[in-house]
């Protein structure tokens, strides 16, 4: 029995080594170091020229993506900046924070705080602009999803139904659907015009921490606290694929602009690239000194940014599509 167990252990180690050897491990092309605080969120501007990072200090740093030079800092939040989102025209940046429980709208060119959206009763985990830039969605620890009018800052709707923290919200590319993922282990789809709940995806094994739509709106990726990533067909709610490999919670998922890749960031201190069509892990980015909290592709899909608990933002080169 001992011999058999030893052989099985040896086989497992060998297979793990062979799998690791088949992966491409990549080094970052640039490391951005700011104020010495952990980075909870990252986002590229629509033109790809600016990279924003939200810190545990409450500060948001704006960087020139091509050089890594700090352009501007946005100050005002008193808690962790869990989420940031650029408006489609790139003129505004929305941020959601803990402690002060507020959403703020910033003028990107000047750094001026334009509006403060108040109403959530707890931490803001996620903010997302609608594709036309007229609406902002937010998800909170108060278990609600809210829709805001960007021009006035007025709360338009409160979407109730989740039984726990709403960890992530995302608009479909056509702006008709809003998806929300929560710690109640469900994903919900809402009709934006009527604010009615359309579908609920249940039976998930753990908290839903992050969600992301593909660029054509046909797929939704979800990152769970158990380390798995699920790919869903939006029209039917059917699970198409499950991506396994992370050892701890998947804090962020993002589709590449062409829809062929999904990037993920995890508490296991890795950022990984997955092929959507096969579910295969293609690349693992090493060098992180802490949990990976957020990932974002540049608009041209050539770069991937990650925000980390080692107080850095790292930029990685995304492998080109094979000819």
| Longest distance between any two alpha carbons in the chain, whole Å | 71
Q: Could you tell me the CA-to-CA distances from 78 to 51, 55, 82, 104, 125 in Å, in that order?
A: 21, 10, 12, 12, 15
> 6 in helix, strand or coil?
helix
Other residues' Cβ atoms within 10 Å of the Cβ of residue 22: 9
**Residues 38-91: pLDDT tens digits?**
999 999 999 999 999 999 999 999 999 999 999 999 999 999 999 999 999 999
Q: What is the mean pLDDT of the chain?
A: 92
Higher pLDDT, residue 20 or 36: 36
Return d(Cα 276, Cα 257) in angstroms, integer: 12
Average pLDDT over residues 208-234: 98
Is residue 242 predicted with pLDDT exceeding 50? Answer: yes
pLDDT digits (tens, 9 = 90+) for 140-195: 999 999 999 999 999 999 999 999 999 999 999 999 999 999 999 999 999 999 99
User: Helix, strand, or coil here: 234?
Assistant: coil
> What is the C-alpha separation between 288 and 291, in angstroms, rounded?
7
């Amino acid at each position: 029995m001992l011999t058999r167990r030893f052989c099985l252990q040896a086989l497992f180690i060998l297979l793990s080594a062979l799998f690791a050897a088949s992966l491409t491990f990549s080094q970052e092309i640039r490391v951005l170091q700011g104020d010495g605080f952990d980075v909870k969120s990252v986002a590229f501007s629509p033109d790809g020229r600016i990279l924003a990072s939200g810190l545990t200090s409450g500060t948001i740093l704006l960087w020139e993506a091509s050089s890594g030079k700090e352009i501007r800092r946005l100050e005002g939040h008193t808690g962790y900046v869990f989420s940031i989102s650029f408006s489609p025209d790139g003129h505004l940046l929305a941020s959601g924070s803990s402690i002060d429980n507020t959403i703020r709208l910033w003028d990107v060119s000047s750094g001026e705080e334009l509006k403060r959206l108040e109403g959530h009763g707890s931490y803001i985990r996620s903010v997302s602009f609608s594709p036309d830039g007229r609406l902002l969605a937010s998800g909170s620890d108060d278990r609600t999803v809210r829709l805001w009018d960007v021009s006035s800052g007025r709360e338009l709707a409160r979407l109730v139904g989740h039984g726990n923290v709403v960890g992530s919200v995302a608009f479909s590319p056509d702006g008709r659907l809003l998806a929300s993922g929560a710690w109640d282990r469900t994903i919900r789809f809402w009709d934006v015009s009527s604010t009615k709940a359309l579908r609920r995806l249940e039976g998930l094994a753990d908290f839903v921490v992050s969600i992301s739509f593909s660029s054509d709106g046909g797929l939704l990726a979800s990152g769970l606290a158990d380390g798995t990533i699920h790919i869903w067909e939006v029209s039917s709610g059917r699970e198409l694929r499950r991506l396994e490999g992370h050892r701890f919670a998947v804090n962020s998922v993002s589709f590449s602009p062409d829809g062929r890749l999904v990037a993920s960031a995890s508490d296991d201190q890795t950022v990984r690239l997955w092929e959507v069509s096969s579910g295969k892990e293609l690349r693992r980015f090493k060098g992180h000194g802490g949990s990976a909290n957020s990932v974002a592709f540049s608009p041209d899909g050539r770069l991937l940014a990650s925000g980390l608990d080692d107080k850095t933002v790292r930029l990685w080169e995304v492998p080109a599509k094979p000819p």
